[in-house]
Structure formats: structure tokens, C-alpha cells
Amino acid sequence: MSLDFKDCLVVGISSRALFDLEEENKIYDQEGLDTYSKYQIDHEKDILKPGAGFQLVKALLKLNAIDEGTRRTEIIVMSRNSADTSLRIFNSIEYYGLDVTRAALSGGAHLSPYLSAFKTDLFLSANEEDVQESINSNVAAAIICTNPEFIIDTSKEIEQIRIAFDGDAVLFSDASEKVFQEQGLDAFLAHEKLNAKSPLPEGPFAKLLKTISFLQNQFPKDSAPIRTALVTARNAPAHERVIRTLREWDVRIDEAFFLGGMGKEEVLKSFGAHMFFDDQQVHINKTSKLVPSARVPYKQL
């Protein structure tokens, strides 16, 4: 019988999102594939440092240890590396004791065609092209911000996973965001007040939130190993439509912050986010200095 991931949260992550491969990426960009491949093979016994997505992956894998025999999450390395240049990645996975055994190594080819084959719920990568193609294929995906200014402490155990989301163009569609961009704040507020009782259309991360909510509901509310937050620039009166939408979806958001244009970074630091998803690069530039952050690109038709 083949393995079924239908009750698992399946996260695909690139090697550059999982580990710090910025120097190696420079070699690839400046000297080409052959030099990069030789470098990786020559250094395959050198352990890589953790990347921006490392702590999230480590914490998600801990969900599998809660109940013996129950696998709640599956992490799959999805990389454009070839099998020949991947040994350093797997040596590093083994060194850190990560229960990651599956990989899609495309040898330079696009990764998006394989996301559905692995039933991927979330794809994290530093490669904008791969992420854009994934979003276009209706898979939740984000461009992870590498080279974080904060120090990743691998010795610190994460007792509760904390994931934060922006609202418009992430959890919800960008329809209301377009009203704001094209007609301004007053028109946006009037539109949201008029449609307060009409649920917002689903955005690229709506299905992911529902999957996380399903996992949360397997535990008592006060001891769930995952905690979520909505961190949005919306404020009253545009808050009502958001609340009614989440209620309509029957999903759980543990904390909600309606900031009305305030900066998001300090709230996210206080929340202790292990990953924050936003559609605006201007926000990611600020939040990534304090918490791991990833940008969700707009779908291209």
C-alpha cells in the first residue's frame, strides 16, 4: 500500500530556505553550474548552517513525536540541485537530527510540476521563479527572506509553533486590496463596510490555514502545539468582514491584530513568530530583521 499524506501537513522547502547557502548561491550566480557543483562535492562533508526556515521545519517535525505512530507533518526537500550535489544537504539534515527522508531533486528543472505529486500544502523557497509558478498553480508558496539579521538559535527548543499571516492577498483574495490601490482608503473602507456580511474570497493561503486549523483541533485549545495570528493593516470598520469570513470558514485564528497602518515588526516579535507571510516586500524588509519572513507573490493569470 502506498503512503497517504491526506491527514498530514506537507511542507516542501528548498535547500537554500532550510540551510544557509548564500555563499554557494553566489558561486552559482558568478561562476556557473560546473564550479558550483564541484564546490558542493568538494565540501559535502562540511555541515551547513541553519537557514531562515530551519526552526520552523524543526518545530513542525516535533508534531510527529506527540503521539507514537501518528504522523502529522511531512517535510520534503525540493531543490533544483542534482542528486550528485545533494549529499551535503542530506549530511546536514542527518547532523541536525531532522526526520526528513524525502526529496525532489530536479537537476535544474522547474519544481512546480512536482508539488501536486507530493500533495504539497506549502512551498518555501528563495527562488522567486519557482514560488511564482507554484502560486500560479494554486499552491500556497512564499519567497523566504534569506540572510536574516537575527541569530537563529538551534539549541533553543520550540515548545509551540507560531505562524502569522497577513490578510488581504494572503489569507484572502486581493480583490479588496485592489479597491484600496485603485481608489484609495476612503473607498476601501466604504466598500468593506458595505460588504461586511459577505465573506471575503479565499486567497492563496486559505487552504493552508484550514489545514493548520484541522491540526489544532486535534488538541485541547489551551495546549495546541501550533498558535496562529492574523497581522493586518486593516482596522475598524474594515475588521468586521474579516471576522465574519473566518467564522464562515470555521477556522481558528488564535490572535488578531488590526493595526491600521502601524508597523507589523514589533507585534510579530512580541508574538514570537517562527514564520510570517505577507504580500508586500516593504513589510518583509522590516519584519525579516526580527522574525523569519516570506513574501507571497500575486498570482499571474
Q: Which residues are identified as catalytic?
A: 166
Q: Which of 201, 228, 200, 231 is nearest to 213 (CA)?
A: 228
Contact in structure between 133 and 197 (CB atoms under 8 Å): no
Q: Which of 250, 207, 249, 246 is nearest to 229 (CA)?
A: 246
Read off φ and ψ for residue 252, nearest 5 degrees.
-110, 125
Contact in structure between 130 and 108 (CB atoms under 8 Å): no
Cα(294)–Cα(95) distance, rounded to whole angstroms? 26
Contact in structure between 134 and 12 (CB atoms under 8 Å): no
The helix/strand/coil state of 196 is coil
The neighbour count for residue 5, using CB atoms within 10 Å, is 16
**DSSP result, 251-294:** ---SEEEE-TT--SHHHHHHHT-SEEEES-HHHHHHHTTTS-EE
Cα(163)–Cα(254) distance, rounded to whole angstroms? 10
